[in-house]
Amino acid sequence: MAFLEIKNLHAGIGEKEIIKGLNLTIEKGEVHAIMGPNGSGKSTLSNIIAGHPAYTVYEGSILFKGKDLLSLSPDERANSGVFLAFQYPTELPGVGTALFLKTALNTKRKFLGEKELDAVQFMKRLKTRATALGITDEMLKRSVNVGFSGGEKKKIETFQMAFLEPDFCILDEMDSGLDIDALKVVSDGINVMREPHRSFLMITHYQRLLNYIRPDVVHIMVDGRIVRSGDMSLALYLEEKGYEDYR
């Protein structure tokens, strides 16, 4: 049984089809990268996996650890192990970051039948993960994603992922907006999470990220389909030639 198996997925907004017969299989422990031109449907695919209500699935299936993912609500998907680090994280004015993370973590633990963390255990876990990604106490006191720079938002997304320890991580353009040092910090943060029981789907426009986080498979997505899959050399080829051959 594959870890994630997407078969013949057709989906879109209203009548507008964006994903047009997409197939993708990811095994446990693998890191996959998706590259593709703007507007090819990469973010749409990640939103559909996470369960965004704006999108309709017309046809096809998504199995996650053998379960029908499409029949679950977004929160059930998250608690089953799916995490999406958004390309454009939503701002939540008035919702404090620390309390939000505590609620998210304890909800997941409850869902999995584990004991909720008390305040001390929670703070300890929060501090450890925050320090590793250069997130300050002051940032944790602010409202979720409010008033952060583009790069800081990306760091916070990665930090949430490290904190919640999902087993399927979708990273939508995690490298965009990060400076050179931050890219290294965030990549390190992701690399330490690479474990045999955890898989990654990384969406990126640049081969640079893949130098830090080596993918097992690279896919090219064009117009709602995966048109080519290969290894790292595919990313190198794209860097040189662009998408001309695939349009």
Partner 1 sequence: MKITGNIGFIRKNNVLSPLDLTGGELSFSVDQDETIQIYCLHLIGSLNIKVQLQKEGARCSLNCVYLSHQKTRKNLSFEVIHDEKQTSSEQIVRGILLDQSSMNFVGTIRIPSNSQKCVGTQNHRAVLLSDEASVSAIPELEIYADDVQCSHGSAVGPLDENALFYLQSRGIDKKHATQILLKAFLTDLMPNEIQTVIDEWMAEYV
Given 143, 151, 165, 228, the residue binding partner 1 (CB under 8 A): 143
Which H or E run includes 201?
strand 199-203
Nearer to ligand ATP, 101 or 202 (CB): 202
Residue 38 touches which of Mg ion, partner 1, ligand ATP, none (CB < 5 to 8 A by kind)?
Answer: ligand ATP
- Report CA 46 to chain centroid distance, whole Å: 7
Residue whose entry in the numeric block shows the structure tokens 């590259």: 35
Rg (CA), the chain: 18
Are 22 and 57 contacting, i.e. CB atoms less than 8 angstroms apart?
A: no
Q: Which of 169, 245, 237, 247 is nearest to 207 (CA)?
A: 237
Given 26, 32, 33, 41, the residue binding ligand ATP (CB under 6 A): 41
Q: Is 192 in the site for ligand ATP (CB under 6 A)?
A: no
Q: Which residues contact 244 (CB under 8 A, 6 or more apart)?
A: none
Rounded to whole angstroms, the Cα distance separating 197 from 205 reads: 26
Residue 40 touches which of ligand ATP, Mg ion, partner 1, none (CB < 5 to 8 A by kind)?
Answer: ligand ATP
Nearer to ligand ATP, 162 or 210 (CB): 210
Nearer to partner 1, 139 or 232 (CB): 139
Binding residues for partner 1, rule: CB under 8 A, are: 50-54, 73-75, 77-79, 83-84, 86, 89-90, 92-95, 100, 103-104, 107-108, 111, 143-144, 160, 164
